[in-house]
Structure 1
Amino acid sequence: MANLAYIARPYALAAFEYARDKQQLSAWKAFLEAASYAAKQAPIEKWLVDPQVSSEKLLVLFNEVLASLLNNEQKNFLILLAQNKRLMILSDISTLFNAHIAALEKMSNVRLITAVAPQETFQQQLATTLGKRIQHKVTLHCEVDPTILGGAVIHMGDRVIDGSVRGKLTRLLQNLIG
Structure 2
Amino acid sequence: MAELKTVARPYAKAVFEVAREQGHIAEWSNMLNTLAVVTMEPKLKKALGNTAFSAEEKASALADVCAEVTTEQGKAFLLTLAVNNRLTLIPAISELFSQFKLNFEKAVNVKFTTAFELTAEQAQTLAASLSKKLDRTVNLTSETDASLIGGVVIRTGDLIIDGSVRGKLAKLSEAINS
- TM-score bucket (shorter structure): 0.7 to 0.9
Output the CA distance in 2 between the equivalents of 1:80 and 1:123. Answer: 44
Change (3 A) 1:85 1:114: farther
For structure 2, list consecutive stretches of 5 or more residues without a partner in the other structure.
none
Change (3 A) 1:176 1:88: farther
Is the 2:59–2:75 contact (alpha carbons within 8 Å) kept by the matching residues of 1? Answer: no
Q: What secondary structure is seen at the aligned counterpart in 2 of 1:118?
A: coil
Compute the displacement of 1:53 (Å): 6.3
Output the CA distance in 1 between the equivalents of 2:162 and 2:46. Answer: 36
Compute the displacement of 1:86 (Å): 2.2
Change (3 A) 1:153 1:3: farther
Is the 2:111–2:141 contact (alpha carbons within 8 Å) kept by the matching residues of 1? Answer: yes
Is the 2:110–2:139 contact (alpha carbons within 8 Å) kept by the matching residues of 1? Answer: yes
Residue 29 (str. 1) matches residue 49 (str. 2): no
Name the counterpart of 2:126: 126
107-116 or 95-104, which deviates more: 95-104
How many corresponding residue pairs?
A: 177
115-124 or 51-60, which deviates more: 51-60
Change (3 A) 1:97 1:124: same
- Report the residue type matching 1:13 in the other structure: K
Q: What secondary structure is seen at the aligned counterpart in 2 of 1:69?
A: coil
- Report the residue type matching 1:39 in the other structure: T
**TM-score normalised per structure 1:** 0.84
Residue 61 (str. 1) matches residue 61 (str. 2): yes
CA RMSD of aligned residues (A): 2.4
- Report the residue type matching 2:65 in the other structure: V
- Report the residue type matching 1:117 in the other structure: E
Compute the displacement of 1:10 (Å): 2.0
Is the 2:60–2:75 contact (alpha carbons within 8 Å) kept by the matching residues of 1? Answer: no
Output the CA distance in 1 between the equivalents of 2:155 and 2:22. Answer: 32
Compute the displacement of 1:174 (Å): 4.3
Name the counterpart of 1:44: 44
Name the counterpart of 2:142: 142
Output the CA distance in 1 between the equivalents of 2:164 and 2:50. Answer: 43
Compute the displacement of 1:95 (Å): 2.0
74-83 or 30-39, which deviates more: 74-83
Output the CA distance in 1 between the equivalents of 2:166 and 2:85. Answer: 41
For structure 1, list consecutive stretches of 5 or more residues without a partner in the other structure.
none
User: What per-residue deviation string (whole Å, max 9, x for no partner) do you get for residues 64-105 of structure 1?
Assistant: 212333333212211222233322221222122122222222
**TM-score normalised per structure 2:** 0.84
**Percent sequence identity over matched residues?**
36
Change (3 A) 1:169 1:36: same
Q: What secondary structure is seen at the aligned counterpart in 1 of 2:27?
A: helix
Name the counterpart of 1:151: 151
Output the CA distance in 1 between the equivalents of 2:46 and 2:160. Answer: 32
Is the 1:55–1:85 contact (alpha carbons within 8 Å) kept by the matching residues of 2? Answer: no
Change (3 A) 1:124 1:85: same
